[in-house]
Amino acid sequence: MQFKYQILIVDDEKNIRDMLSTHFQLLGYKTFTAENGQQALEIMSGNKCDMLISDISMPVMGGEQLLREVRKDYPMTHCIMMTGYVRMENILSCMRHGAETCIFKPFSDFNEMDEAVKSAAAHLEHWEAKLGMILKMKP
Amino acid sequence: MDKYAEKILIVDDEADSLDLLRLNIKKLGYDCIAMQDSREALACAKQNLPDLILLDFMMPGLTGVELCALLKKEKELAHVPVIFSTGVGEISKKAEAFNAGAVDYIIKPINAIELGIRIKNHLSLFQARRELEQYALNMEKLANERARQLVHADRLATLGTFLACVAHEISNPATALGGNICLIESFLPLLGPKTANDKNMNIGKNEGNSDFAVNSMREIIPAMKDDMKRINCMVENLKCFSRKGHQEKKQFNLIDCVNNSIELCSKILKNKLKIQCSFVSQKVFLQGHQQQIEQVLVNLIINAAESVSSEKPVNIEIKVRSEGSNAFISVSDDGPGIAPENMPKIWDPFFTTKSPGKGTGLGLFIVRTIMEEHGGTITVDNNQNGGARFDIILPLINAV
């Protein structure tokens, strides 16, 4: 089965990982999960992750540091952040390091999350289309 | 309204003396009860409860001194000022009079003006003392009430420290729960006939998707139950902790108390601390307010957790044992310990090493107050290999 895109879900809460995983699988994405930033980077080094949905406060390596590493090493990966600690520093940091958005927990529906993923997908599709056009052009 | 006229009891065996005295006292505006027989005077005093008693020194049957001693033994009369009236020849007996409990003496023949002044002085002195006693009683009641309020305020301040963590603790299961509910909503059209209300997700109702839906439900539902339990548990803990304590002291098991505190702190400050405990026995009974002792332990644990600002969790060791008629608790951490110059100050209210706005500094002051309330003590020292150690001693409940 052709998956739309591959999403890496990073959160230290298992129930949240499972919940988001099931949701995006239902929508036709392939999902990976990780407990913290370090595990996330390990997974990304072996798998193509088009998008990242990550919590900010996690043990070992948190979302902020993960975001910085990913923007540096995987510039085409879109990063959607989540946080339970709604504080100015968190939001500013996400913004400055190029995250798509930062979603506040608790959230009771997927609207904002789906919008962000759709927008990221649209961006990726756009560039894929461009690359496709160039490949078709004769030298 | 008639001003209350004080009652004066006069006892004198000489009829003339008695009459003259009665006249003078009435002229001064007081109520007067005159008794000639000293033996009947005691019963009369008990019945009438005078505000002042004037006794003749020399009386047959029951002397003035003997009568005075008897009056002082009566609970309702012991505080009533007694003035002796003595003849010049009896001045040497002054000591006897005062030993018997008299507050003054007046020499016969009695000068009416002098009598009036002495009576007035003693009555107002007595009144003043009574008011002072009442005032002191009220102040003590007020102080006790304030102490209780302060302990409660500290409890709420501690709660404030928790709140950021609690919000996080509730928001995670709430997020998972909320998402799962939406998922079940999405599954509906995949498992049965689609209705107008179903979310339009453009997911085909095929076997693959239906299987996926059913299998997911089998996992989602237990996860939802688990998250709901976590939320309820956190709410319960908060409610318990913020409830105002009972007034009376009750018997409780210190081990339960310590376990509750550890459970609460572990849940809320999850990654910030690692607690190890060792109890020499499972039942250590004390008399007091369990909630307050929990407050003490929670304060100590939070202080330890906050003594370290890095991400590394603080290791805390709690030991409980009983020996003789006391219970011993020690709370030890591997944080930075307490700076020697701060050691004497930590018990002061409002002393804090935290930056302004964080922490009220009430914690240890309240901890000590609670210890005193329970007849216990708390001391602190730095461990040999770093970190602080608080040692608590509390009296055990007497074996029934």
Cα(A104)–Cα(A106) distance, integer angstroms:
6
Whether residue B313 is preceded by a cis peptide bond, meaning omega within 30 degrees of 0, is: no
The arithmetic mean of pLDDT across residues A92-119, rounded, is: 92
The arithmetic mean of pLDDT across residues A58-85, rounded, is: 93
Provide the pLDDT confidence category of residue B200 given band limits of 50, 70 and 90: low
Q: Which residues of B touch A22 (CB under 8 A)?
A: 183, 216, 219-220
Q: Would you call B175 and A107 a contact, using CB atoms and an 8 Å cutoff?
A: yes
Answer yes or no: is pLDDT of B159 > 80.
no
Least confident of A14-28, A29-43, B247-261, B301-315: B301-315
B199 in Cβ contact with B186 (< 8 Å): yes
The arithmetic mean of pLDDT across residues B179-193, rounded, is: 87
CA angle A110, A37, B306 (to 5 degrees): 100
Query: Could you tell me which chain A residue has the CA closest to the CA of B180?
Result: A19
Pick from B150, B151, B162: nearest CA to B239: B162
- ipTM field: 0.89
R_g of chain B computed on alpha carbons: 37
Cα(B397)–Cα(B400) distance, integer angstroms:
8
Cα(B369)–Cα(B356) distance, integer angstroms:
24
Q: Does A85 touch chain B (CB under 8 A)?
A: yes
254-313 in chain B: CB under 8 A from chain A: 271, 311
pLDDT at B1: 41
Least confident of A106-115, B85-94, B302-311: B85-94
| pTM (predicted TM-score) | 0.59
DSSP bridge pairs for B394: B327
CA distances from B290 to B148, B231, B261, B287, B360 (A): 14, 25, 10, 8, 23
What does the pLDDT look like over B32-81, one tens digit per residue?
999 988 888 989 999 988 999 999 888 888 888 889 999 999 888 888 99
Cα(B22)–Cα(B37) distance, integer angstroms:
15
Candidate from B167, B183, B212 with C-beta closest to A84? B167
Answer yes or no: is pLDDT of B353 > 90.
no
For chain B, give the mean pLDDT: 85
B241-245 long-range contacts, CB within 8 A, separation 24+: B241/B155, B241/B158, B241/B159, B241/B162, B241/B294, B241/B298, B242/B155, B242/B156, B242/B159, B243/B291, B244/B152, B245/B148, B245/B151, B245/B152, B245/B289, B245/B291, B245/B292
Cα(B71)–Cα(B49) distance, integer angstroms:
11
Provide the pLDDT confidence category of residue B378 given band limits of 50, 70 and 90: very high
Answer yes or no: is pLDDT of B167 > 60.
yes
What does the pLDDT look like over B205-236, one tens digit per residue?
666 788 888 899 999 999 999 999 988 887 87
What does the pLDDT look like over B70-108, one tens digit per residue?
999 988 888 899 998 887 666 677 788 888 888 998 888
The arithmetic mean of pLDDT across residues B306-312, rounded, is: 76
Q: Would you call A107 and B178 a contact, using CB atoms and an 8 Å cutoff?
A: yes
Cα(B86)–Cα(B29) distance, integer angstroms:
23
The arithmetic mean of pLDDT across residues B130-152, rounded, is: 88
Answer yes or no: is pLDDT of B260 > 60.
yes
Q: Does A19 touch chain B (CB under 8 A)?
A: yes
